[in-house]
Amino acid sequence: MLAYVIRRLFAGVIMLIVMSIVTFALFFASPIDEASFICGKNCSAAQKKQTSAAMGYDDPFAEQWWKFAKGVVQGRDYPDDPQLRETAPETIVHCDAPCLGYSRERGDTVTNLIKDTFPVSFSLAVAAFILWITGGVLLGVIAALKKGTVIDRGLVGLSLIVYAFPTFFVGLVLYKFVAIKWGLTEIPRYTSIAEGGVGGWLSSLTLPAITLAVFFMAAYVRMTRSYVIESFQEDYVRTARSKGLPERTVTFKHALRAALTPIVTMAGLDFAGLMGGAIITESVFNYPGMGKLAVRASQDFDLPTTVGLVVLLAAFVIIANIVVDLLYAVIDPRVRLG
């Protein structure tokens, strides 16, 4: 078990390295002239050249990547210029490990930017996850157990409709009507636990979490329903019935347990994806999360932030994969780790 985890983590690190090389290469190949952005509009050609050299943009790709990778482990200085360090140390920014780069546009290290935005995205992801898992699985199971009835058709039809609505539409409807027009909730503004306590934090999350959750919930209702229905067709459910078990035991002990296994996988990966920020929801509600940061970074051609976010999201997905595989082995005795 432990050996397996270590091996998977090791493989994960290698995947992350490859991932960072690929993202790095993509942006290295982009036509954006980072030096002239930093230098400004009224920059002479000589100044531009100097900036480019000082920022290390003239170095070969491999060296730039190596500096980035070293920065993740050791931290680094921006610009890493020994001469400048002596003459004007106040212009140098030190970026502590794990340093994912320095964003000139935002005037802060990427690590700090992520530190500021991650709690928002994470809170949102957790709140939405709890809502959609309980709601989606519960309603999906109900639909499956009432297969063919009005309840089933209603739930399936409803989730199809909800699934078809774009997230920004649902978000805007909630924002405009529930919060502003009807005043049922406060106008959502992210409040951390430190600012507003657990209550304030939760209530600030309500509308965005619902926005995010309904889409997933709709998908999970239909997915759960089909897994449960499929599970009831299994031979072992017939065996359970033929033993004379009450329908309750047949349903919960035999059919549902098997049906929920694939849902764990889906849920783990979806959750990991969300931790990297819910771009649309955060934008609609103007939440200072990683999704919003990613949007702004890509609008501003903020390469260091973009690369940092991509690598972080990749790390989340890799870790979630490992966790899901471990969970699988706990749920299904046929799965052997190794």
Give the interface with other proteins as residue ranges (CB under 8 A).
234-236, 238-247, 249, 253-254, 257-258, 331-334
Pairing, β 93-95 against β 76-78: antiparallel
Minimum distance, C-beta of residue 234 to other proteins, in the bound complex (Å)? 7
Please say which residue, 53 or 337, places its beta carbon nearer to other proteins: 337
Which one, 87 or 242, has the nearer CB to other proteins? 242
Distance in Å, CB of 335 to other proteins, minimum? 10
Are the CB atoms for 166 and 214 separated by under 8 Å? no
Terminal CA-CA length for the chain: 8
Q: Please, which residue, 94 or 243, has the CB nearer to other proteins?
A: 243
Residue of 289, 282, 288 lying closest to 208 (CA atoms): 282
Please identify, using beta-carbon distances, which residue of 242 and 299 lies nearer to other proteins. 242
Question: Could you tell me if 175 and 207 are in contact, meaning their C-beta atoms sit under 8 angstroms apart?
Answer: yes
* Minimum gap (Å) between residue 241 Cβ and other proteins: 6
Neighbours of 130 (CB within 10 A): 12
Q: Dihedral of CA 25/29/71/313: which sign?
A: negative
* Minimum distance of other proteins from residue 34's CB (angstroms): 55
Shortest distance in whole angstroms from residue 4 CB to other proteins:
19
Q: How far is the CB of 272 from other proteins (least distance, A)?
A: 25
Cβ atoms of 175 and 195 closer than 8 Å: no
Comparison of 49 and 241: residue with beta carbon closer to other proteins? 241
Q: CB–CB of 254/240 below 8 Å?
A: yes
Which has the closest alpha carbon to 303: 294, 312, 315? 294
Minimum CB distance to other proteins smaller for 46 or for 150: 150
Torsion region of 301: left, alpha or beta (phi above 0 gives left; psi -120 to 50 gives alpha): left
